[in-house]
A = this chain, B = another copy of it.
Amino acid sequence: MKEAKWIWYPGDFEADLCWRFNARRYERDVIIPQMCRPDRCSPTVSFRRDIRLNCREKFYIEADGKFNVMVNGRYLYGCKDSFELEAGRYRLDITVHNENFLPALKLASESVVSDEDFLVCCQDRHYVRPATDTGFLNGARPSDFRLPTRRAEFVRVYEKDGRRIYDFGKEIMAFLQFTLDADADVFVCYGESEEEACDYENSLQTDSLVCKKGENRAPLTKGFRYVCIESEASVSRVSALAEYLPHRVQAKLSTGDDLLNRIFDTSMYTLDLNAREYFTDGIKRDRWTWGGDFYQCGLMNLYSFFDLDLYKRTYIALIGKSPVTHYTNHIMDYSFLMLISLREYLEHTGDGEFVRFIYPRAKELAEFCVSRADAERGLIEGREEDWVFIDWGTGMNDNEGAVFAEQVLFRAAMTDMAKIAAWVGDEAFSRKYALWAEKIAANLPMFWDEERGGFIHSIKNGRRNRKFYRQDNVIAILFDGCDAAKKESIVENILFDENVPKIVTPYFKFYEFEALCRMGRQKEVFAQIKDYWGKMLELGATTFWELFDDTDQGVEHYGMYGKKFGKSLCHAWSASPIYLLGRYFMNVSYVNGEPVVGEASPLLGDFEAVLPTRGGSLYLQCRNGKYVKKELRLDEKAEARI
């Protein structure tokens, strides 16, 4: 007998959990729900299946919500949790109504179970295949889902300036636990840094709790390493319950270079903490899903966990339900990256089923972008309500008019949507997007500055804004904004020019280093990876930061957005060494879910590595610059799921 599964309307789990998840962001006592449109699940869904019974069977129903059962168009009265049917042919229609949470169904008889063979609609009469658990829920009903937890202990406790500080040794995402010897109010001050945990006025994360004698648990997870707990009562047995997403497999890298190994391990740990219900930007802040951060996580995911469910959950939540009324996260470039990511995902994983499922949503996003562009030249500018982000850093707050990097990304998004549309058989739109990409491409040369040998930042009201930034030029290299000769010129004249403002976010270091690797500059990148991420380790980082500027001093490192501890010290986008090392130094690519191994970079020296694959893992051993072992190891659990 097959196993009955919870089934629900596809996409609704991801949408419903996402805004709830994003609303777990607090700044001290202030809730900060997501700033883009939250999409809800339908409160009512109908499940259908045509069945044929050879003998009388009893059907057991579990529903998350109130429900009704219709058999051949007639309601069954008095059906509490089971019903029986004689041999025969039937159309079963079961409608589940849940006022607050995701309506879901589980049904089983001898020969019929709820699974992908049912159909489901959200009362719109467009029946589609239902979604089911692929392992993430671990048997829980969808609306009860929480990540599993494991206990984390502090590694030392000490006094400093009259504050008792618990140090968990490294950043964690956890519910704090402690025991009180009496009922009392408790003030908890969390810190990613020791300074933040001790700064009761400025810490971004605090809890003011009314507690009972005995064991207490903070109501929400926080991202922290240090914590101070103030109470009239005596506090003991401090620990934490850390939430985690189980991984089928995790990448490993062991080289002769300890710093490189630590950079890789810390990158993996940073990404792991941010690989949760969804890929998030940071575990202290924002604890939100962001399209650009996700773009990079999508690539890192291949070389770290190869967790396609995690990718898909995040994609579905981010792209949202119809209608598209704003850019992904309101950010123009993030929308383009969402579309580019989908083409890359298809090529890397070969998961056509997901691409077919999500294509209508991607197309709607593409159509939204096109509706905002100049129909004649194809170029696009931000409107008042849009955010033209690109990056944090010098020059990046002047993004009015047609910003060059945006045009390049838009062209790439259109090219990729042309490919995806062709792949799903939507030829008319494939042609439309291909033509649009050509239109943009024809206008990119006007951003070129022959004298400087690079691209200017923007053109506003017909006037060239003759500023040169790494960001625009890096994007031109990565997303084919120009020919090979211009790319070489960019490397020489912009990227190797120290007078061009340096990049301070790991987010754009990702793109800059990838661009340099594509241009064959692995040697420079290798040194810079060790320098940039190495310096964070030198400063005691246990996870990598949202932004790092080596000219900052002391507590300056923790400030951002005008707040003393505004910076996230555990930010997914800073885990890019995972990707850069895997792709450009181990020289592994993923094509249709299979790893393709090229020549290892001699810069890595002798090393051993494990990389995940769709069906298991790949063990690599490199000696004297040559791979001496490349073993694909199939994973039983993974096989069962694929």
Which A residues form the contact surface with B (CB < 8 A)? 19-20, 23, 27-38, 40, 42-44, 66-68, 75-79, 95, 97, 99-100, 122-126, 322-323, 325-326, 330, 385
Contact = CB atoms under 8 A, between A and B. Distances in A.
A97 B26 CA distance: 13
A84 to B, nearest CB: 17
A78 B29 contact: yes
A97 B385 contact: no
A44 B30 contact: no
21 contacts: A19-B43, A23-B97, A27-B75, A28-B78, A29-B77, A29-B78, A30-B76, A31-B66, A31-B67, A32-B75, A33-B43, A33-B44, A33-B123, A34-B123, A37-B123, A37-B124, A99-B100, A124-B326, A125-B385, A126-B325, A322-B322
B32 A42 contact: no
A229 B50 CA distance: 39
Given A28-B78, A323-B323, 19 more contacts: A20-B99, A23-B43, A23-B66, A23-B99, A27-B77, A28-B77, A29-B77, A29-B78, A32-B68, A33-B43, A33-B95, A34-B123, A35-B123, A36-B123, A37-B123, A38-B44, A40-B40, A40-B42, A322-B322
A269 B435 CA distance: 63
Given A19-B44, A326-B125, A33 B77 contact: no
A35 B44 CA distance: 9
A385 B48 CA distance: 15
B100 A33 contact: no
Contacts of A78: 28-29
A325 B23 CA distance: 29
Residue among A19, A33, A75, A125 with the most chain B CB within 10 A? A33
B322 A125 contact: no
A66 B32 CA distance: 10
A83 to B, nearest CB: 12
Contact of A77 (B30, B95, B100, B325): B30
B323 A31 contact: no
A31 B125 contact: no
Contacts of A32: 68, 75, 95
A125 B330 contact: yes
Contacts of A124: 36-37, 325-326
Given A67-B31, A385-B126, A40 B37 contact: no
A385 B28 CA distance: 51
Nearest to A70: B30
A445 to B, nearest CB: 34
A33 B75 contact: no
Report how many copies the assembly holds.
2
A29 B67 CA distance: 10
A27 B69 CA distance: 12
A576 to B, nearest CB: 30
A333 B273 CA distance: 54
Given A38-B123, A322-B323, A97 B33 contact: yes
A557 B34 CA distance: 56
Given A38-B43, A97-B23, A385-B126, A68 B31 contact: yes
A220 to B, nearest CB: 12
Contacts of A76: 30
Contacts of A40: 40, 42-43
Q: Give the residue among A28, A76, A97 with the most B Cβ atoms within 10 A.
A: A97
Contacts of A123: 33-38
Contact of A100 (B27, B36, B79, B100): B100
A30 to B, nearest CB: 5
Q: Most chain-B CB neighbours within 10 Å: which of A34, A38, A78, A125? A: A125
A66 B67 CA distance: 30
Contact of A97 (B31, B43, B44): B31
A23 B95 CA distance: 12
Contacts of A31: 66-68, 97
Contacts of A77: 27-30
A125 B326 CA distance: 8
A362 B1 CA distance: 50
A385 B325 CA distance: 27
A30 B124 CA distance: 21
Contacts of A330: 125
A492 B66 CA distance: 54
Contacts of A29: 77-78
A171 to B, nearest CB: 24
A100 B44 CA distance: 15
A325 B32 CA distance: 32
A319 to B, nearest CB: 15
Nearest to A96: B33
A124 B385 CA distance: 9
Contacts of A323: 322-323
A322 B99 CA distance: 20
A12 to B, nearest CB: 11
What are the nearest 4 A-B pairs in CB distance?
A: A125-B385, A33-B97, A33-B44, A40-B40
Most chain B beta carbons < 10 A, residue from A35, A122, A123, A385: A123
Given A20-B99, A126-B385, A37 B30 contact: no
A358 B68 CA distance: 34
Contacts of A44: 19, 23, 33-34, 38
A82 to B, nearest CB: 14
Contacts of A322: 322-323
Contacts of A75: 27, 30, 32
A125 B385 CA distance: 6
A124 B326 CA distance: 6
Interface centre among A28, A29, A30, A122 (most CB of B within 10 A): A30
A368 to B, nearest CB: 12
A321 to B, nearest CB: 9
A36 B385 CA distance: 33
A19 B66 CA distance: 14
Nearest to A364: B323
